[in-house]
């Protein structure tokens, strides 16, 4: 038994010695141990990427939302400011128009008052300088005067209305107001010459509007069978073709004769008391 064990030991020693000699005689190197190989394998594995993190995205979205809300608030504030400024501008304009209208009304009222005062003064002077028949009428009033005054007043207002009519209607109506001849602004004219004057005036001012201020003043004379009528009136005359406009307050003076029964205008004159914008 012992010889067998000894022989086995010799064989093992010889194998080990031969392997060591073979390794020393060549450049070959034994591979590393299994445990080392396993460790190298683990080091060679690629590193696992970390999953993306999205924690910053909600904060960025929140900031964008707040910025959009702030921008919308600024726009709304600007819109409200602009609306308030526009409302204030319109209110100031309305107040300016109202003040201007009040000033125009006050100016027209002052003009009318001055015209009435002048008219009263003129009538007073006419009454003071009336001929003797006027004194007789005070002693014994002529019963015709009241009817004449009413008729003369109505005729003067109808005449103003006819002047405001369109050209054709005004020219057609004019002859019925006059007698055979007329004292027209200081000149004695036939009815034909008077119509030519009227036609030229209406051609120059095709759009007209005349409106009496209050009731006409009338003073009648029995000896001459006439009534003197004074009418203060507003007037507006427009020429679209020329781009012209005339506007103001005037006084119309008519002498209405009842000598032949029917009332007719035998004298006509007028004067401008004031012009708009003057």
Domain count within the chain: 1
**Model pLDDT, residue 101:** 76
Residue 5 domain flag: no
Residue 268 domain flag: yes
| pTM more than 0.75 | no
Q: What is the CATH number of the domain that holds 137?
A: 3.10.450.50
**Model pLDDT, residue 106:** 78
In order, the DSSP letters of 60-125 are HHHHHHHHHHHHHHHHHHHHHHHHHHHHHHHHHHHHHHHHHHHHHHHHHHHHHHHHHHHHHHHHHH
**Model pLDDT, residue 22:** 46
Mean pLDDT for back-to-back runs of 10 residues, the chain (278 residues): 55 53 48 49 55 62 86 91 90 82 77 73 63 48 83 93 92 91 92 93 94 92 92 94 93 93 92 82
Residue 146 domain flag: yes
Residue numbers of the domain that contains 191: 106-275
- CA–CA distance, 201 with 212 (Å, rounded to integer): 20
Residue 253 domain flag: yes
Q: CA 154, 115, 236 angle in degrees (round to 5)?
A: 70
> What is the DSSP code (8-state) at residue 36?
H
Residue 209 domain flag: yes
- CA–CA distance, 30 with 25 (Å, rounded to integer): 13
Q: For tokens 């009222």, what's the residue?
A: 109
Give residue 142's Cα distance to chain centre.
Answer: 59
Residue 80 domain flag: no
């Amino acid at each position: 038994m012992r010889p067998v064990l000894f022989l086995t030991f010799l064989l093992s020693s010889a194998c080990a010695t031969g392997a060591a000699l073979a390794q020393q005689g060549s450049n070959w190197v034994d591979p590393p141990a299994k445990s080392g190989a396993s460790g190298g394998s683990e080091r060679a594995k690629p590193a696992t990427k970390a999953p993306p993190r999205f924690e910053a995205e909600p904060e960025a979205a929140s900031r964008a939302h707040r910025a959009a809300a702030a921008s919308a608030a600024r726009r709304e504030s600007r819109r409200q400011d602009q609306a308030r400024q526009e409302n204030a501008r319109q209110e100031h304009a309305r107040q300016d128009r109202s003040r201007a209208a009040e000033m125009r009304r006050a100016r027209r009222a002052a003009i009318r008052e001055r015209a009435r005062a002048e008219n009263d003064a003129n009538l007073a002077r006419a009454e003071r300088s009336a001929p003797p028949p006027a004194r007789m009428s005070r002693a014994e009033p002529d019963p015709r005067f009241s009817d004449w005054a009413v008729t003369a007043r109505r005729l003067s207002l109808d005449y103003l209305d006819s002047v405001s009519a369109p050209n054709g209607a005004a020219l057609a109506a004019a002859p019925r107001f006059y007698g055979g001849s007329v004292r027209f602004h200081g000149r004695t004219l036939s009815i034909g010459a008077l119509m030519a004057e009227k036609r030229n005036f209406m051609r120059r001012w095709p759009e007209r509007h005349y409106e009496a201020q209050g009731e006409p003043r009338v003073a009648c004379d029995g000896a001459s069978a006439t009534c003197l009528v004074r009418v203060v009136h507003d007037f507006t005359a427009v020429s679209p073709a020329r781009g012209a406009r005339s506007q103001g307050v005037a006084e119309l003076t008519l002498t209405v004769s009842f000598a032949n029964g029917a009332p007719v205008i035998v004298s006509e004159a007028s004067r401008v008391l004031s012009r708009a914008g003057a």
